[in-house]
Amino acid sequence: MSSKTSALRLQVESSLARRGGLAARVASPFQYRDRPIVETAPTGIPPIDLLTGGLPRGSLTEIYGPPCSGRTSLLVSALASRTAASEVCALVDARDAFDPQSAEAAGVRLQQLLWVRCRNVDQALRSTDLLIQGGGFGMIALDLGDTPARVVRYVPLQVWFRFRRAVERTPTIFLVVEQESNAKTCASLVLSLHAQEARWARTSERAGNSGQLLPPHSPGCLLDGQRSLAETIRSHAKREGMWLHKPNTIFADDRGDDADFETAVVWGGLGPR
Amino acid sequence: MAFASIFVPNFPVQAVVRAEPALGERALALIEGNPPLCSVVAVNEKAAQMGIEIGMTKTDAEQFASAEIRPRSSAQEKAAHAALLDIGWSVSPQIEDTAQDTIVLDLAGLVSLFGAEKDIGTHLGERSAACGLHVNAAIASNIETALIAARGFAGITVIPAGEESQYLSRLPISALSPSDETAETMSRWGVAACSDLAKLPILDLSERLGQEGVRLHALARGASERALVIAEPAHSFEEEMELDDAVEELDPLSFLLGRLLDQLCARLTARSLGAAAIRVRFELQPSFEDAVDIREAFPAEKRPGLYEKEIQLPVPARDSKMLLKLLRLRLQLNPPGAPIRKITLAADSARPRATQGGLFLPSFPDLEKLELTIARIAHVVGEGNVGSPSLTDTYRPGDFQMRRFLTPREAVKTDRGSDGAGTPSKQRDNSTVTTSFRVFRPAVPAKLDLHAGCPTRVAFQGLRGEVIAASGPWRTSGDWWREDPWQQDEWDLEIHFQSAPEPGDRFSSTESRPNSGIYRFYYDSLRRGWFVRGVYD
């Protein structure tokens, strides 16, 4: 039966090729191709890893949300995780917003990070293109987090398609951080982040009913960290049930579509404190 | 024990053709001397067939319309000589720098490495052709016989031990380079070939011609013995080209650079080395105003007509195409700014990478390709905007420096080589995720309402909000002894923003505008103003 099917397919393809149709441009368009198993890498945030199964390699991952939603913490955590695994990472920073001090405090090995400081989206996209074509990076992150959403919206969809095609079948994780989702179906994993609440060690007290802040003094209140909510908007791996279970990793069977995670401020690594 | 001699016939012409291979197809005459007394000093075979002769004046030579007339170039001859030495060192560590066009190699122990002596000769010929030189090579059991045979016979000649006299017998006496007086005497005696000289009785020859006669007799018999004067291996690789017409545009310049790089890489390949750094130096054509006595006003190294650039490579490379692309990108970023009349290209040599990456290690970008990618990105974003961040040993907020990006393997090597000043990365604690910070570069000016010294309301970039929680002030200062001191009071403020947009709102839509956020503000006591340093994200 299968030999008959393949013979029929060959006949259809050859007749189409003679007529100059789809088969003339694409080799064996009707041949069934196995989808490769998606290999993933942990983000370094256990709730996110539990939610998504990790960042897929050879795919485009989109993280979007407003400022203070934890996008950068997730990005930096992923960079720290990859550099700790001795991989080389690249960060294309569209608005030069990366803070090396907090990144180092988060565990990013800065000497393994190629940082491209851009001034606009055009520079960022061109640099990303060059990096993806160059190959060999464990992770390439494109940070458009501070770029106005209306500017990123003007990036043609074909750019995202090109990126996706270029990164396919490579071990590179391509991560994009934005304010809004733009890559549409080109992204294999889309995460939406929302800020939940900030945690303070001792909130500045208000005086009685007046609601006015009391003058703080050292040691006053300290920012402990913040809580964020991550929501899976799209996940190819999850849809197709292709989780890659790594040894010693337990994934819950009843994974939902969102997860909370908390981040903490490390004072020792930030400047003079 | 065997020796090989390499001789470059018509050396001045070959040196020029090596730099401009297209001239090899045409009739070429080299001139030398101060105008108007320039005369032809060397010609190639085609020019000789046309009738151009050595000693002819430039004006006479110019009558031959299809012939190329070029000045003799000492720089190109120097480079060709260096290439000849490199060819020698590519085969044997012990060579003698006999003359500008001749070298001698000690072949002791090389048969097991290269095969028979004939194979060594073929190998020398191939190496020479790769370096742009067509040579005669001769292998004999003694140095002088090898030298005479290389000058006398074209192509590769291997003289078996004991047959020296037989081989040299065919050569004329002039091949032994006798003095003019001795040559004339022999001519009068009717001694024209080496075989005739070898037959003469040595004692009688000694009585009539003295020690020179004895020496020539030994040379003619192939029995002269002397020790090799070993030359020190050179580690500098330099190629030069002087241009008749100054070059202004990048495309023709790239063509010339490519040619020089090909020669440089061929020499490096011959020595089994790579270029760790490439230095390019252009002598620029001075403008009419600058042309007046700048040589006296400035020392040579600070002359305004010089352009210098150095490219450090992550791994020793000898791929001329890759190096040319790198050079082009650097020159596009920093163009010379004036027409170029002389190009000097030098390479710092190093042993090529011999180790193989681990099979189970994560893949790294190919280093040569990565260097090219970084150069291309630098062309897009600017040279100082791509690299690895490195924290500096200071309390100044947000201070860091950009370093050249090194892959982990190189970084390990650099750390071993350095004094260990690099700060190791902190060990990551997997249980906590660190809150990251986004920096506004430059800091954004802000307006703050204070109540009893504590911020209550803020406004910046069209956003206006109320302070929900505050932490501060954290006072820092430093570098008061420098021109750029700092003195700041920092605050971490959680702000609840108003929903209505204001003119200058940095967020385009209400969806992307944050309802609240934690920002770091600071009061700059020196500039007397409030600024936003960044946001916790």
Give A270's pLDDT tier (boundaries 50, 70, 90).
very low
Domains of chain B: 3-61+71-161 (3.30.70.270), 168-221 (1.10.150.20), 266-288+301-350 (no CATH), 387-425 (no CATH), 437-536 (no CATH)
Per-residue pLDDT for A251 more than 50?
Answer: no
In chain B, count of helices (H) and strands (E)?
A: 17, 20
Q: For residue A217, give every residue at least 6 positions away whose Cβ sits within 8 Å of its Cβ, in sequence order, or none.
A: none
Q: How far is B465 from chain A (nearest CA, A)?
A: 15
Neighbours of A256 (CB within 10 A): 10
Q: What is the pLDDT of residue B410?
A: 60
Identify the residue with better confidence: A209 or A74. A74
Q: Which residues on chain A are in Cβ contact (under 8 Å) with B427?
A: 107
pLDDT tens digits, A185-213: 899 999 999 998 888 876 555 544 555 55
Per-residue pLDDT for A8 more than 80?
Answer: yes
When computed from its CA atoms, the radius of gyration of chain B, rounded to whole angstroms, is 36
Q: What is the pLDDT of residue A12?
A: 82
Q: Give the closest residue to B120 by CA, choosing from B87, B96, B163.
A: B87
- Nearest neighbour of B397 by CB, restricted to A85, A118, A271: A271
Ranges A91-100, A241-250, B132-141: which has the least confidence:
A241-250
Q: For residue B83, give every residue at least 6 positions away whose Cβ sits within 8 Å of its Cβ, in sequence order, or none.
A: B18, B131, B132, B133, B263, B266, B267, B270
Query: Which residues numbered 465-484 in B keep a CB inside 8 Å of some CB on A?
Result: 467, 469-474, 476
Domain ranges of chain A: 34-201+220-268
DSSP letter (8 states) at residue B516: E
Contact A73 B534 (CB under 8 A): no
Q: Give the closest residue to A217 by CA, choosing from A204, A208, A206.
A: A204
Q: Give the closest residue to B138 by CA, choosing from B8, B240, B292, B17.
A: B8
Q: Which two tokens stand for residue A16?
A: 């189409």
Answer yes or no: are the C-beta atoms of B329 and B275 closer than 8 Å: no
Q: For residue B166, give every residue at least 6 positions away whose Cβ sits within 8 Å of its Cβ, in sequence order, or none.
A: none
Neighbours of B511 (CB within 10 A): 10
Q: What is the pLDDT of residue B148?
A: 92
Q: For residue B531, give every residue at least 6 positions away whose Cβ sits within 8 Å of its Cβ, in sequence order, or none.
A: B443, B444, B445, B446, B521, B522, B523, B524
Write out the E strands in chain A: 40-41, 55-56, 59-64, 89-93, 113-117, 139-143, 173-178, 187-200, 206-207, 212-213, 223-235, 258-264
Per-residue pLDDT for A271 more than 70?
Answer: no
Per-residue pLDDT for A30 more than 80?
Answer: no
Contact B454 A215 (CB under 8 A): yes
Residue with tokens 């590519």: B90
ipTM score for this prediction? 0.82
Per-residue pLDDT for A273 more than 70?
Answer: no
- Nearest neighbour of A127 by CB, restricted to B366, B377, B511: B377
Contact B436 A73 (CB under 8 A): yes
**Alpha helical stretches, state H, B382-466:** 408-417
Contact A223 B471 (CB under 8 A): yes
Neighbours of B500 (CB within 10 A): 8
Give the best residue of B377, B435, B471, B510 to mutate against chain A (max A CB count within 10 A).
B435
Contact B434 A84 (CB under 8 A): no
Answer yes or no: are the C-beta atoms of B42 and B101 closer than 8 Å: no
Contact A100 B369 (CB under 8 A): no
3-state secondary structure of B131: coil
Q: How far does Cα A181 stand from its chain's mean position?
A: 11
Q: What is the pLDDT of residue B223?
A: 85
Q: Which residues on chain B are in Cβ contact (under 8 Å) with A72?
A: 436-438, 537
Q: Which residues on chain A are in Cβ contact (under 8 Å) with B394?
A: none
Per-residue pLDDT for A76 more than 50?
Answer: yes
Q: Which residues on chain A are in Cβ contact (under 8 Å) with B389?
A: 98, 100, 103, 110, 113, 115
- Nearest neighbour of B433 by CB, restricted to A77, A131, A137: A77
Q: What class has domain A34-201+220-268?
A: alpha beta
Contact B408 A99 (CB under 8 A): no
Read out DSSP for B191-236?
--BHHHHHHS-HHHHHHHHTHHHHHHHHHHHT-------PPPPP-E
Q: State the average pLDDT over residues A65-92.
A: 93
Low-confidence ranges of chain B (pLDDT < 50): 301, 416-424, 427
Ranges A18-22, A235-239, B90-94: which has the least confidence:
A18-22
